[in-house]
Amino acid sequence: MRCFADCLKRRPWNWLPIAALVLAQQLAATSAGLGALAAPAPHVLRPAAPGSAAAAAVVRGWQQVNLPANGSYFWLYVPPAWDGTTALPLVLFFHGTGSNPDAYLSFLFPAAEAAGCLVAAPKSSGVSWETGIDDPIVAATQAAVQGMVPVDPKAPIHMYYGTTDPNYTGGAYASLQHQWDALGVSWESDVEAGYGHNNWPPESMVAGFQFLVGKAYGAATCIADPTHLCLQHGRYRVAVTWQDGNGHSGSGTVAPAGTADSGLFWFFSPDNWEMLVKVLDGCAVNQRIWVFAAATTAVQYTLTVTDTVTGKVNSYQNPAGHTATPITDSSAFAACP
């Protein structure tokens, strides 16, 4: 079982900033439980100044960054799909007692990729995180990340790893829920049959990351224009590019018709509509957002649908000379509440 909460964490994490978002992860890490997860080879870097050549050449994926002044280090994950300029949300992830960040890399990166965020996972000075003692490590980690890649100016999300499973703590989970409710914060939990305290399904972690990033950076940023649709309350940005067999290419233009969850594009003439696209709320059916589309064309095209909350992008292609096949993706986005 996992629980993600938008909350204030008191002790022993009272050094975390007020209103920080916290991951209350009750699947306790153990060396045996995570020892089989292979960490990627480190790219050992030094923090770079903003705008420097080193910042521009930051490696996508995991890289290890040394903090020599603090006698520590952290792992930084940069989504491979990052465009190199967009400021991304930052998640600071804190390992469990007696562990280190290396043990968590293999299950953190799919969630970070799906949520469209950076993850920085520092190493504590001792076996656990201590008030005052480890503050400089956290501050240095955040400063180093900001010197390497553009970071969203909002306060970073703070995630900690610990045990709140009532089977292990005699009902502490219910106490946490009561505290979160009293504080008026948002939280969600996920109970998965057949999983224990040191393993869980990857989709559970992905959904939790998306929940937290959505709460912290949740305002939809889609702006409708002649080549972009904004569907499902403005959360999903839809665009299409095309290329014919004569060397001509372009972007689909939004036709002056549509609804809150569907829209139309034309390629060659405003009187000749080529594609209908729908982004549908399928949460009541299978806990997913659906993408359906139908095009009456045989030209090459790429349809792109972006979740502006999490940054996840789904693309759908039609090859040149092929009569377009309807798109019925009923598992497009795991973004249900």
Burial of 14: CB neighbours in 10 Å, binned 0-12, 13-18, 19+ = exposed
In this structure, whether the domain defined by 2-216 belongs to CATH 3.40.50 is answered with yes
pLDDT at 7: 35
pLDDT at 197: 55
pLDDT at 161: 60
Q: Where are the domains of the chain?
A: 2-216, 229-333
DSSP 8-class letter at 88: B
pLDDT at 115: 76
pLDDT at 29: 28
Q: What tens-digit pLDDT sequence spans the chain (337 residues)?
A: 344 544 333 222 222 222 223 333 222 222 222 222 223 333 333 333 444 444 457 788 999 999 999 999 999 999 887 777 778 889 898 888 888 999 888 888 888 887 778 999 999 999 888 878 899 999 999 999 999 998 888 777 777 665 444 444 455 666 766 766 666 555 666 666 676 555 667 777 777 777 777 766 665 567 788 999 999 888 899 999 999 878 888 999 999 888 889 999 999 999 999 999 999 999 999 989 999 999 999 999 999 998 887 778 899 999 999 999 999 999 999 887 6
Whole-angstrom Cα distance, residue 139 to residue 146? Answer: 11
Whole-angstrom Cα distance, residue 331 to residue 329? Answer: 6
Whole-angstrom Cα distance, residue 117 to residue 88? Answer: 6
